[in-house]
Structure 1
Amino acid sequence: MPTPITLIATLTLHRAPDALQLEGLEKLVNASRAEAGCLQYDLHQQHSADNVLVMIEQWLDAEALAAHQATAHYRAFGAAFNAQLVSVELNHLRRII
């Protein structure tokens, strides 16, 4: 049985996302949720810093995550948001209990 992968991606932007950026993020979320190996793909905004976004993702296995990172919508998001990013922190987790 595959081991699900949880990924917490913390995106720090130069400033809070505007309406156009939120629209782009919504497209990314919806397209990612439609992928065969996606178990969870939720976007959150930090209460104390509205320029910090946290994506909580869960994938069926490492292959599903790799396939996601090769999709056109993932690559388009990276190209569109790269200039807006101060930093990206990726934490790959595996559930133990």
Structure 2
Amino acid sequence: MSEVKIVATLTPFPEHIAAIRKAAQTMVPLTHQEAGCLQYDLHESRAIADVRELANEGAVSFVFIERWKSEEDLVKHVAMPYHDDFLEILDGKLESLNVQRLTAL
């Protein structure tokens, strides 16, 4: 089976940034314990309106960079009870949720 790479970007409404940050941070140690987890890193990002001015003044997002041993391992992760709890916390608090599968070129 081949490795699966995922990037998930969560952009909360401004009033929910702290709650989403806390919930996202809770996911990291739980997910690191999963046998199929190769990488599960959380980053906080700020949108940059103009690449010539690299000020961190834009919207806050949380970015998960994930690597899984196999598709089966990713499916197991999504089925974890704490993953369901996380999705429940996110409900109604996000401006956007973007999940992408990466393929190396």
Does TM-score exceed 0.5, indicating one fold? yes
Code of the aligned partner of 2:97: V
Deviation >6 Å, runs of 4+: none
Which consecutive unaligned segments of at least 5 residues does structure 1 have?
Answer: none
RMSD over aligned Cα atoms? 1.6
What SS is found at the alignment partner of 1:3? coil
C-alpha distance in 1 between matches for 2:44 and 2:27: 15
C-alpha distance in 2 between matches for 1:79 and 1:72: 11
Look at both structures and tell me which one has the larger radius of gyration over its CA atoms. 2
User: Equivalences for 1:5-84 in 2 at 5 Å?
Assistant: 5-15=4-14, 17-18=17-18, 20-48=19-47, 49-84=58-93
Deviation at 1:33, TM superposition (A): 1.0
What SS is found at the alignment partner of 1:52? strand
CA contact (8 A) 1:35 1:68 kept: yes
Q: How many residues align?
A: 94
C-alpha distance in 2 between matches for 1:10 and 1:21: 12
CA contact (8 A) 1:8 1:92 kept: yes
What SS is found at the alignment partner of 2:83? helix
Which consecutive unaligned segments of at least 5 residues does structure 2 have?
Answer: 48-57
Code of the aligned partner of 1:47: R
C-alpha distance in 1 between matches for 2:13 and 2:21: 14
Aligned-pair identity (%): 29
What SS is found at the alignment partner of 2:43? strand
